[in-house]
Amino acid sequence: MLVLWDIDRTLLYVGDVDRQVYRETFAEVVGRSADQLPARGTGVTMPLAIRSLLVNNGVPENEVPTLLPRMVELLPQRLAAHTEDLRQQGVLMPGAVAALSAVCDHPGYVPTVVTGNLKPNALLKLDAFNLAGFLDTEIGGFASDDQHRPALVAIAQERAQAKHGAVFDRANTVIIGDSLEDVRTGLEGGSAVIGVASGKTTTAELIEAGADAALDNLENVALLLETIAALTHGAR
């Protein structure tokens, strides 16, 4: 059974580090400061966030196709320079380590990530909090793969199938995330959805958006495991 974890505000929160990286990257590529930064906690992929950053700060549309890939390339380098800030300013979400450990240790569960982060950025964040060992990041779905986040579910499923020789589809895949975008990713991408109200979205809002289940946080590990099993009918 494939368990797809979101990262930001589900497993960890890096405070203003991401926003500082956007500021620095925009200034280096565009040559001036950004007045408006991407909205917090939306869950959209980084390429789409960068596009909004450029357009909302007055960059002409005809320049975006040239500047956007330059920013995508530079963003991981800028985040790497803030590795210590990730550790000092970032926090683990309540219950994240125990929840990751329980899923990782569960027989038949394949834990990885589906995230709006570029892969280098995702790995930097996970490594900063010593979480990478709980996840198979070789088979995940990242914004580096596709800017359309629902497409990342199928990418992760195909990679998991190639590695494990089993078919992964909606019946045996679940995404765990905190945002409305995580819910949309699962609904459109082909997986069950467990919403976690650890970000800016309440359990009621997650359910209303279409999540199959919603938890207040990850602290009740037994409940999390029960919910995963119930949504996938105990699939392995």
Decide which of 180 and 232 is more confident. Answer: 180
Can you give the CATH number for the domain in which 27 is found? 1.10.150
Q: Quick check: is 221 in a domain?
A: yes
Can you give the CATH number for the domain in which 167 is found? 3.40.50.1000
Residue 209 sits in the same domain as residue 186: yes
Predicted confidence (pLDDT) per residue in 190-199, tens digit: 999 999 999 9
Residue 111 sits in the same domain as residue 180: yes
- 162, with CB counted inside 10 A (0-12, 13-18, 19+), is exposed
Mean pLDDT of all residues in 1-22: 95
pTM: 0.94
Q: Is the pLDDT of residue 83 over 60?
A: yes
pLDDT at 236: 43
Sequence-separated (6 or more) residues with CB below 8 Å from residue 57 = 26, 30, 34, 35, 36
pLDDT at 235: 47
Residue 219 sits in the same domain as residue 113: yes
Sequence-separated (6 or more) residues with CB below 8 Å from residue 199 = 8, 9, 10, 41, 178, 179
Q: Which of 39, 64, 89 is the last residue of a domain?
A: 89
d(CA 140, CA 204): 28
Domain span at residue 79?
Answer: 15-89
Mean pLDDT of all residues in 130-147: 97
Residue 97 sits in the same domain as residue 190: yes
> Mean pLDDT of all residues in the chain?
95
Residue 130 sits in the same domain as residue 159: yes
Residue 19 sits in the same domain as residue 112: no
Number of domains, the chain: 2
Q: In which band, very low, low, confident or very high, does the pLDDT at 39 lie, cut at 50, 70 and 90?
A: confident
Q: Quick check: is 183 in a domain?
A: yes
Q: Quick check: is 63 in a domain?
A: yes
Mean pLDDT of all residues in 171-188: 97
Q: Quick check: is 44 in a domain?
A: yes
Q: Is the pLDDT of residue 93 over 80?
A: yes
Mean pLDDT of all residues in 195-216: 97
Residue 47 sits in the same domain as residue 112: no
Q: In which band, very low, low, confident or very high, does the pLDDT at 35 lie, cut at 50, 70 and 90?
A: very high
Residue 34 sits in the same domain as residue 132: no
Q: Which of 27, 60, 89 is the last residue of a domain?
A: 89
Mean pLDDT of all residues in 79-107: 96
- At position 40, the amino acid (one-letter code) is R
Mean pLDDT of all residues in 25-38: 94
Closest C-alpha to 49, from 64, 30, 62? 64
Predicted confidence (pLDDT) per residue in 216-225, tens digit: 999 999 999 9
Q: Quick check: is 236 in a domain?
A: no
Mean pLDDT of all residues in 172-191: 97
Residue 151 sits in the same domain as residue 225: yes
Of how many residues is the chain composed? 236
Q: Which of 57, 89, 121 is the last residue of a domain?
A: 89
Q: Quick check: is 98 in a domain?
A: yes
Residue 180 sits in the same domain as residue 102: yes
pLDDT at 81: 97
* Antiparallel, parallel or unpaired: β 173-177 and 2-5: parallel
Q: What is the CA radius of gyration of the chain?
A: 17
Helices (H), the chain: 17-30, 46-56, 64-80, 83-89, 96-105, 119-128, 151-164, 180-189, 203-209, 221-231
Residue 135 sits in the same domain as residue 152: yes
Q: Quick check: is 113 in a domain?
A: yes
Q: Quick check: is 123 in a domain?
A: yes
pLDDT at 71: 96
Percent of the chain with pLDDT over 90: 94
Residue 143 sits in the same domain as residue 195: yes
